[in-house]
């Protein structure tokens, strides 16, 4: 497990992998198991939600869809809750790629070995991508189990596409944090900025239509391309996923270039 920087980092994350998987499986199960009672009372809920101010419905999504599993998951899980959680580890680990080793000072020793900064960074990024993949696959299996338990069904292809988007969105903000540490910010500042941007862009995307802001405002937020709720209902949108992927690549390159040029702190 210690033969490369990539495997060492996965090895370091093994406990996190278990806890995040368990946590997300439980979260997914809990949300799915509530579905039958929501389904029953959906008429009353719809009426209630229709009386809420439009700003609230804009934030929480369209309640009309609560009667189907896809609509329910899109609203309750993929709309905010799940990505908010996965962004948590994305930002934490993204900030740690350079940040934690630089803070503790092990980066000095590591980079004195015959391994390039680019290789260190990409291997660590790869470890996070694999981590995200494993956590999301495990939690999706939990989700499918829950759906079977409540005798419901879901379009598996759409679900897979939505989960893929969660992974991409997580990596966008994780790589943003990585890029910020790459250009020289410390871990705390980078994580704070990334988390702040995640929240601001979420609000921009949700509230732009209400605030009469031009649609272009939404198009600069990753959440617009993420839109897993819509993917669950209508299927995979390759262009949107490609935009998220491009953002990850661009941020990774910024991180690499910044890291390549700067001094390593002691």
Partner 1 sequence: MNEAIRIEKLTKSYGKERGVIDLDLVVEPGDVFGYLGPNGAGKTTTIRTLLDLIRPTSGRCWIFGLDCQKQSIEVHKRVGYVPGELALYPKLTGEQTVRHFAALRGGVDMGWVMELADRLDFDLKRHAKAYSSGNKRKLGLILALMSKPELLLLDEASGGLDPLVQQELNKILVEMREAGSTIFFSSHNLPEVERVCDRVAIIREGRLVAVEGVDDLKAKALRRIEIQFERPVPATTFEGLPGVQDVEVQDSRLTFTVLGSIDSIFKVAAQHTVNNVVSHEPSLEEVFLTFYEGGTQDAS
> Which of 52, 54, 108, 213 is in the footprint of partner 1 by CB under 8 A?
108
Q: How far is the CB of 183 from partner 1 (least distance, A)?
A: 15
Per-residue exposure over 64-103, b if at least 16 CB sit within 10 Å of its own CB, e if not: ebbebbbbbbbbbbbbbebbebbbebbbbbbbbbbbbbbe
Q: How far is the CB of 117 from partner 1 (least distance, A)?
A: 9
Q: How far is the CB of 96 from partner 1 (least distance, A)?
A: 13
Q: Would you count residue 8 as binding partner 1 (CB under 8 A)?
A: yes
110 in Cβ contact with 97 (< 8 Å): no
Of the pair 93, 223, the CB lying nearest partner 1 is at 93
Of the pair 45, 264, the CB lying nearest partner 1 is at 264
Rounded-to-integer distance, Cα 223 and Cα 206, Å: 9
Q: Would you count residue 5 as binding partner 1 (CB under 8 A)?
A: yes
Q: Would you count residue 106 as binding partner 1 (CB under 8 A)?
A: yes
Q: Transcribe 26-53 into DSSP letters.
A: HHHHHHHHHHHHHHHTHHHHHHHHHTS-
Q: Would you count residue 105 as binding partner 1 (CB under 8 A)?
A: yes
Rounded-to-integer distance, Cα 130 and Cα 13, Å: 11
Q: Would you count residue 12 as binding partner 1 (CB under 8 A)?
A: yes
Residues 115-174 that bind partner 1 (CB under 8 A): 115-116
Rounded-to-integer distance, Cα 84 and Cα 226, Å: 13
Q: How far is the CB of 10 from partner 1 (least distance, A)?
A: 13
Single out the segment in contact with partner 1 by CB under 8 A; choices: 29-37, 99-107, 160-168, 176-184.
Answer: 99-107
Torsion of CA 224, 125, 134, 193, to 10 degrees: -40
Q: Would you count residue 18 as binding partner 1 (CB under 8 A)?
A: no
Rounded-to-integer distance, Cα 33 and Cα 27, Å: 10
Binding site residues, partner 1, CB under 8 A: 2-5, 8, 12, 104-106, 108-116, 261-264, 266
């Amino acid at each position: 497990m210690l033969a490369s920087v990539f495997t060492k980092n996965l090895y370091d994350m093994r406990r996190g992998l278990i806890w995040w998987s368990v946590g997300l499986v439980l979260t997914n199960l809990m949300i799915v198991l509530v579905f039958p009672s929501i389904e029953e009372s959906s008429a009353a809920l719809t009426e209630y939600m229709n009386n809420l101010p439009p700003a609230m419905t804009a934030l929480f999504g369209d309640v009309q869809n609560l009667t189907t599993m896809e609509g329910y998951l899109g609203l309750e899980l993929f709309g905010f809750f799940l990505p908010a959680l996965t962004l948590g580890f994305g930002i934490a680990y993204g900030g740690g790629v350079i940040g934690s080793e630089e803070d503790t000072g092990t980066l000095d020793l590591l980079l004195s070995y015959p391994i390039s900064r680019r290789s260190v960074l990409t291997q660590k990024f790869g470890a996070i991508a694999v981590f995200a993949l494993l956590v999301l696959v495990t939690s999706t299996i939990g989700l499918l189990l829950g759906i079977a338990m409540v005798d419901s069904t879901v379009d598996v292809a759409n679900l897979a596409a939505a989960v893929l988007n969660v992974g991409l969105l997580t990596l966008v903000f994780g790589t943003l944090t990585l890029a910020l540490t790459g250009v020289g910010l410390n871990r705390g500042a980078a994580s704070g900025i990334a988390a702040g941007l995640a929240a601001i862009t979420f609000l921009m995307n949700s509230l732009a239509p209400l605030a009469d802001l031009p649609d272009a405002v939404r198009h600069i937020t990753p959440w617009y391309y993420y839109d897993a709720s819509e993917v669950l209902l209508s299927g995979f949108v390759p262009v949107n996923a490609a935009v998220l992927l491009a953002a990850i690549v661009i941020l990774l390159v910024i991180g690499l270039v910044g890291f390549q040029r700067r001094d390593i702190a002691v």
